[in-house]
Structure formats: structure tokens, C-alpha cells
Amino acid sequence: MVAARKVLIVVGVLVVIGVAVGIIVGVTSGNDDDSANTSSGETTSSSSGSSTGTASGKTSTSSNVSESDLLTNTTASGSGSANKEPSSDPEEAKAALTMLAIGDWGATTDKPGSCCNKYRKVANDSLEMKIDYWAQINIAEILAQAAGDIKPSRIIGHGDNIYWNGAGPDDIDYRMETTFESVYDQPELEGIPWINVVGNHDLGGSEYICGDKDYNFRECESTEEMLKYLNLKFSLQQEYKSANSDRWKLSDHYYVESVEANGVSAASATAT
């Protein structure tokens, strides 16, 4: 019996606009069934794939895959031994460990929802406008509902946390409160660690990167100044401390977050 299984979840910087995705890692176990063996422990396989005991003459009726069948590296001795079917149903199996993932969620502060200017091209009273304008509010509610159902151990962020151009020293606290804390404040999300990376918009996105706050970014005067503010774009988010159980996590440009629950370990490898 193997006490722990390792699952690698590789998370890159993805572009997932306004979509929350559930990641469920489920592990099920079968029963080790040795009843097919005869008293002598020897079996023979016929050409049809059936297994017949040499001592008692009884025919094996076991067709399920045991855990040892899946975890040991053995060579099938007969054509029938490779045709076993798992006894568990993955659709009904209880997940040993769950996570949720979300990307491109960092809405701007000059409107409540979407990062895009699409709403300017549609009628103000249209359903399309309402859905787009309040996009992140809706996504936050859906994310909270999913969290209430599956109780995730982590929420994996795919980057673009602060549109359009990231934050500066003078507005990082304001942006994190307005864009993150006050939007994803549902009770179901409380205390769940968010494992983050930064995206292109966090590092500048669509404008100059030098300057101390959004709408005041300007052309850098030197390479040294450019590197200073480029590093700040990352470190300001990295050093942010959430008042909600310190849930915001951005350990480094490249890092691994490991989780273990119910005998299963999972590693979320992140790259910025």
C-alpha cells in the first residue's frame, strides 16, 4: 500500500479572462483481492483470457483492478490480465484534495468590473453591458459558491492581478484593497491561501513603468531607473500582507507550493 501519492500541478502564466476554473485532484483506492488464487497460489491462463486454479480447478471471477495492480510494475502473464476494469467510478469518487484557479481578474478602479473597454460600444441597458461591466463581481460570487462546495485548499492565481499597468509605491495598498480584498470578500473564500504569479499587466502592461502610482507612470530617464521600477512592480505585490489570514502569497518569480491532505500531496509550481 502506498501511503501518499504525488500529483504535480504545473501552473504557468495563463490568459484566462474572467473565468474561474475548478481543479480537483481525486484519488480512490481499490481492494486487494487475492481470492482468485488457489490454495497453492498458482494460476494458469487459457487462450481466452480466463484464469484457472491448478490445484482446485476453480475459475477466477475477479475482474477489478486492485491498488497494487496500478502501483506495481509487473508484466501481465496472460492476455486476460490486461483487461481488468477499475472498481471505482471517478465521477462519484470523493476528491482527496481540491483547488480553484482564476486568472486575469485584476479589474481597473475606474469601473467596477471588466478590464476591457467593450462596454463603451454597447447599450447601457443591455444584458451584455451588465455582464461585462460587473464581470469580476459575478466571478467572485461564482468562485465563492465553488469554494463552498468543494472546500479548496488553495486558490491558484494566473496573473494580471492589477490592470492595466500594475501598482506603484503610492497606490499598492489602495489597489489591493479595491481590486482584491473588497471584491473577493465572501465568507467561503476567507482564509484560503491565494498562490500567485504576476502577468504582463502587473509589470507595466500598456504604459510606461516609471512613476509612483497609476495614471502617473512616465518614460524612464535611465536604465537604472527602469530596472528599479520594474523590480518594484513585482516586489510591491510580493511584500503585500493581506489582513484576511495573510492569504496573499507570491513567494518568488519561481517557486513551488506544496499541499498535503488525506494522504495525498500536491505541488503547484509557479513561474512569473
Helix runs in 25-126, H state only: 67-71
Same domain, 128 and 178: yes
pLDDT in tens, 94-106: 888 999 999 999 8
- 62 & 179 share domain: no
- Tell me the helices (H) and strands (E) count for the chain, helix number first: 5, 12
Burial label, 28 (beta-carbon count in 10 A; 0-12, 13-18, 19+): middle
Number of domains in the chain: 2
d(CA 257, CA 136): 26
Backbone angles phi, psi at 6, to 5 degrees: -110, 135
**Would you place residue 114 in the very low, low, confident or very high pLDDT band (cuts 50, 70, 90)?**
low
Q: What is the mean pLDDT of residues 267-272?
A: 75
Q: Tell me, what amino acid is at 225?
A: E
Residues 11/21, Cβ–Cβ less than 8 Å: no
Q: Which domain holds residue 60?
A: 43-86
β-bridge mates for residue 22, sequence order: 100
The conformational region for residue 245 under phi > 0 = left, psi -120 to 50 = alpha, else beta, is left
For the cut 90, the answer to whether the pLDDT of residue 225 exceeds it is yes
Written as one letter, the residue type at 20 is A
Burial class (CB in 10 A: 0-12, 13-18, 19+), 18: buried
Question: What torsion do the CA atoms of 180, 19, 113, 240 make, to the nearest 10 degrees?
Answer: 20
pLDDT computed for residue 117 by the predictor? 58
172 and 134 housed in the same domain: yes
Average pLDDT over residues 53-59: 41
Q: Report whether pLDDT(195) > 70.
A: yes
The answer to whether position 121 is within a domain reads yes
The pLDDT of residue 16: 36
Residues 97 and 56 occupy one common structural domain: no
* Residue 192 and residue 68 share a domain: no
Residues 118 and 200 in one domain: yes
* Pairwise CA distance, residues 37 & 57, whole Å: 10
pLDDT at 228 over 60: yes
